[in-house]
Amino acid sequence: MSNINFCINQNNFNSNPSFCQNNKSFQTQEHMESGIVQHDLLLLNNKKEKEKEKKSFFSTVLKGFMLTAGVALGLFCGYRIVEYYKPGFFKRIFNTQNKESKSIVEKSEQERTFLQKFNSHFKNYNGTSQEIEQLEKDYVLNGVKNREITEEQKEKFFVKIKSRKKIRDFNSKYDTQISLTPYGGIDSLVKAYKITNSDKEAKKAFNEILDNKIEKIENKIKVLENQKLDSKTLSKMDRTNDLLCSLKAIKKNLSKKNFYYVNYQNRIIKNEIKQESPYKTSLKNELGTTYNINLSTETFKALFDNNDILKQRAQDCYLVGTLNAIINNPEKRCEFYSMFSEDDKSIKFEFKNGFYVVFPKTEDGKPESLYKNNLSSLKGAMGYKMFEEAYLLYRLYHKNTTKENKKEIEKFSIKISKNSEEFQRILINNNKKSYNSLTDILRRSNFDDLINGGLIYEVAQSLFGSDTKSYCLQGCKYSEKTKELKKCTDDELSQVLEKLIEENKSVVVGRDKEDECDYNGATIAGEHFFVIRYYNPKTKEIHLFESNNPSKILILPLSKFNEEYGLLYGF
């Protein structure tokens, strides 16, 4: 209905004014007071003005939104057009204004994509090195023509192609298998290096190849140093540093026994600590995760004064190997710190199941271990030594079946005031072996008899309460405990390691062969535990070190690793 007509007959309703209303005007009777009419008109006009203002506001907002969207769309289209005709133009402009434009930068998404296609295309190409070189150049030129890469990136690919030709020429002439990429392939490089001892021409060509690989890896490290630190970047830093050390070790022409071992580069351990209250410290690790530690900053520094991994005698390698794996894992390491707490008189270490050991403080408030004469087999920061003593009591308590002995150990553990002699007496009374004198236990055991023979999962369970995954490798020597286990193939082991690394697990491996193994000049110890530092699924190489010799890293091919080692543990 377009119009509304509402009429009241004056003859019928004399007491009320009559009016007619439509959507365009008001018609009033003459006897209506002019003030009332004006008042109604004013209200109506105000209402219309407010509606106009409301419509005007929304209209303005809508126009502003459309204008902004239009400008953004225009800029995006302009960006895409410029990038289409001149790829990398804006990136170059930005880099010229950036203070660090001269530093090494990560490859662009465009360059990485093309590199992946390039590597995939020439992965299994057959032909002479000259033929393949020309095909690679043609492929890159075609990439520039199709605007997949820039002219600047083309030159970088041509340098890459040149170095690949040198490697192909060397492999063809000397029957070697040096990797075309700068990463991995240490096994092949060691074998190629041996050829250079009797051939000057081979030595010159090999050094050129090696120098190129070293330069590429050093540039990669610079890129990683500028990236935000997370678990993946940290792992890349580790394996890249290991690889660089290995190449430089070969470059220095070391003796045969040093071909395969490379100098250990500490994981980037960064503990930022801040005192929150007398016995509470906030700790931020290298991944940026913050933990609350119930220790003063002074005590924390006294317990963990350095970030070095641990050394020890071989008898408790299972324990120290586990600790080294924990230290190399930022999350696990900080969880371990959190198991310590402090009050005015003592420092407490508490295991996952609630069993705890109290350590007294000195008169000036400093932490004090139970063995004053430093008989512990573990060589490292005091916090780890105190843990070893606590773990010794933990093992004795859980291995003893006598209630009397359990009560004695528990009573001693929670006691604040105790001394070295009392600790030694507890060890003698509760150890299954008998000793003729205190001197005998100090001479013969030195913790070895008392703490040896343990397993990785015992330590992980006591600390984190988590189940430890174990895997049987080809080198496992079957026993009653392991005869039912299925041995991993190389492919299965690769998947296991990749998953454990991806889940940020700590990984330890045992070798139960009695005899040592010599491989490319490196001696692999028998009946010993090792820590897995990194696994590279692309190059199929494993970085590991002996639990009692963390100063050297051994880089092994997956197949050799699977053949030599027995049981793998991830926690």
- Residue range 376-419, pLDDT digits in tens: 557 778 898 899 889 988 988 887 667 888 888 899 999 988 87
* Domain co-membership, 384 together with 511: no
Say if CB 189 and CB 541 are below 8 A apart: no
H, E, C per residue of 68-109: HHHHHHHHHHHHHHHHHHCCCHHHHHHHHHCCCCCCCCCCCH
Inside any domain, residue 520: yes
d(CA 550, CA 144): 48
Same domain, 517 and 410: no
Q: Is residue 537 domain-shared with residue 443, that is, in the same domain? A: no
Which residue in 558, 566, 556 sits closest to 190, CA to CA?
556
Alpha-carbon distance of 506 to 533, in angstroms, equals: 9
Region 468-487: mean pLDDT is 82
Same domain, 298 and 442: yes
The answer to whether residue 80 sits within a structural domain is no
Q: What is the pLDDT of residues 228-250, one digit of tens each?
A: 777 777 778 888 888 888 888 78
Q: What residues contact 197, with CB distance under 8 A and at least 6 apart? A: 203
One-letter amino acid at 379 equals: K
d(CA 215, CA 172): 24
| Global confidence as pTM | 0.71
Whether 382 and 243 map to the same domain: the answer is no
For the CA atoms of the chain, what is the radius of gyration?
A: 37
Same domain, 208 and 316: no
Answer yes or no: do 349 and 255 share one domain. Answer: no
Strand (E) or helix (H) holding 471 = strand 469-472
DSSP codes, 332-389: HHHHHHTTEEE-SSEEEEE-TTS-EEEEEB-TTS-B--S-TT---SEES-HHHHHHHH
Report the alpha-carbon distance of residue 20 to residue 26 in Å, rounded.
Answer: 6
Q: Where are the beta strands (DSSP E) in 351-463?
A: 356-360, 378-379
Residue 401's pLDDT is 67
The domain boundary residue, chosen from 239, 263, 287: 263
The pLDDT of 354-358, averaged and rounded, is 95
Tell me how many domains the chain contains.
3
Q: Which of 432, 456, 480 is the last residue of a domain?
A: 456
Query: What tokens were used for 56?
Result: 């005007």
Among 246, 263, 280, the domain-final residue is 263
| Residues 132 and 257 reside in one and the same domain | yes
Integer Cα distance of 359 and 457 in angstroms: 25
Residues above pLDDT 70, as percent of the chain: 72
Q: Does 380 share its domain with 334?
A: yes
What is the residue range of 499's domain? Answer: 468-570
* Same-domain check for residues 312 and 289: yes
pLDDT, tens digit (0-9, with 9 covering 90-100), for 118-132: 988 888 888 888 999
**pLDDT (tens digit, 9 = 90+) per residue, 302-330?**
998 766 677 766 567 888 889 989 988 88
Asked whether 554 and 544 are in contact (CB, 8 A), the reply is yes
Residues 189 and 255 reside in one and the same domain:
yes
C-alpha to C-alpha distance for 416 and 356, rounded to whole angstroms: 12
Q: Are residues 118 and 199 in the same domain?
A: yes
- Over residues 194-200, mean pLDDT: 82
- Distance between CA atoms of residues 499 and 532, nearest Å: 13
**Helix/strand/coil for 283:** strand
User: Which CATH number do you get for residue 519?
Assistant: 3.90.70
